[in-house]
Amino acid sequence: MGKLGPCSAPATLYCYAEPGSSRTRAGGSVINKQAILGSLCVAFVLYSVNVYTRGTEASRTAPMSDDARHGQQVFQDYNCVACHQFYGLGGYMGPDLTNVMSNRGEAYARAFITAGTARMPMLGLAEKEISSLIAYLEFVDQTGTYPARNYQVRWYGTVSQEDDPR
């Protein structure tokens, strides 16, 4: 009968030694365990390369113009994000402005910024500030579509949007 004793296999504490044999077994051959471990390591590396390289390209939007940067500053100075949102993030009193330029147009946005509404104050902006704010809204409109329509979740965890302008 075999003898139970300390094992040289790293994953087990005790192995079964065959009578008359100097070799011990830990529930399977060492070669099979090494092959499985090697296969898992190769699969991990290939999966990691796939996940971290596919679908991670930077967006191809044009850089923000000086006029749009000034509009961004106006947006921040008047704390527009307290009521409005970009990509669903921000205040909830006013509408999401992510795609207001492509959905409603410049005249619509200019009218609301200039005259205000019952819920939006008339801010008394100068024409230069209004034009800059319009340029900023046009820049934001080019960065994507919100809410996402026609999206696809891939098996490796990334999400792509079919109607995204990028």
pTM, rounded to two decimals: 0.60
Q: What is the pLDDT of residues 126-138, one digit of tens each?
A: 999 999 999 999 9
Q: Which two tokens stand for residue 88?
A: 């669903």
Higher pLDDT, 107 or 23: 107
- Tell me the fold of 66-142: Cytochrome Bc1 Complex; Chain D, domain 2 (1.10.760)
Q: How far apart are the first and last CA of the chain?
A: 71
**Cβ(12)–Cβ(26) below 8 Å:** yes
Question: How is residue 81 written in tokens?
Answer: 């994000």
CA distance 11 to 27: 10
**pLDDT score for 147:** 79
17 vs 4: CA distance, rounded Å: 7
Q: Where are the domains of the chain?
A: 3-53, 66-142
Average pLDDT value for the chain: 82
Residue 77 DSSP SS3: helix
d(CA 101, CA 84): 14
Question: What pLDDT does 130 receive?
Answer: 96
pLDDT over threshold 80, residue 20? no
